[in-house]
Each structure stands twice: as structure tokens, then as C-alpha cells.
Amino acid sequence: QVQLVESGGGLVQAGDSLRLSCAASGRTFSRYTMGWFRQAPGKGREFVASITRSGGTTYYAASVKGRYTISRDNAKNTVYLQMNSLKPEDTAVYYCAANSGGPSYDYWGQGTQVTVSS
């Protein structure tokens, strides 16, 4: 079992930056590919970014590529999402998730709200 707790969300203006953190407890953090997802009001959950176990490879949704950076610190059991040049359409609840290697993510956090005003 892995417990994930997100933090760092808030209310910002367009063009500002935020850094989300996701702290993991439980089984060995470095065994998991980690991902960030988001869900805007009235919309489904969408993929934002992911990072492999060692941190050597990252993937991004087209809508955030070049503005967001995912990283991880396996010594601290934490994954980060640096979000720059935020836009109102980035407003959503952001979730982190852990994947043990299967076709879907196994564990999810409770989410953190990010609101970007214009």
C-alpha cells in the first residue's frame, strides 16, 4: 500500500508559478512510476505528466509541455510538479498517482486545488 499526499496548490494569477509536491509513504517509492493528473470542473480526469522510476524519462501532455516540469527525489519519497506561466485553463484539482508497472495507476492522492485567475 502507498499513501500519497499532495500539497502546494492555491490561488494565483495568470502568468504566475506554483510548485506542487506529492509525498509518498508505505512501500518503496522508487519502485513506482509517478504521474500527475488533473480534473477541471465538469470535465474528466486528464494526464498531465509522468516520470519513470529513476527519474530519467519524463512525459508531458501537449497542453503543458514547455511550461510544466515533473521531477522526483527518491531519497525524500517525493514527486514535484513545477508549473510556470499558468493560464486560467490550468485551473483544476491536481492529483498525483503511483504506477507499479501495470496498465493503470494503482494509488492516488486526494488532490490539491489549483485556481488561476485571469
d(CA 72, CA 76) in angstroms, rounded, equals 8
Across the chain, which distance is largest between two alpha carbons, in Å?
41
Query: Is the predicted pLDDT of residue 1 greater than 90, yes or no?
Result: no
Pairing of strands 33-39, 112-117: unpaired
pLDDT, mean of residues 20-24: 98
Model confidence pLDDT, tens digit, residues 25-63:
976 899 999 999 999 999 999 999 999 999 999 999 999
Nearest to 32 by CA among 104, 105, 99: 99
DSSP state of 48: E
d(CA 52, CA 63) in angstroms, rounded, equals 20
Model confidence pLDDT, tens digit, residues 67-115:
999 999 999 999 999 999 999 999 999 999 999 999 999 999 999 999 9
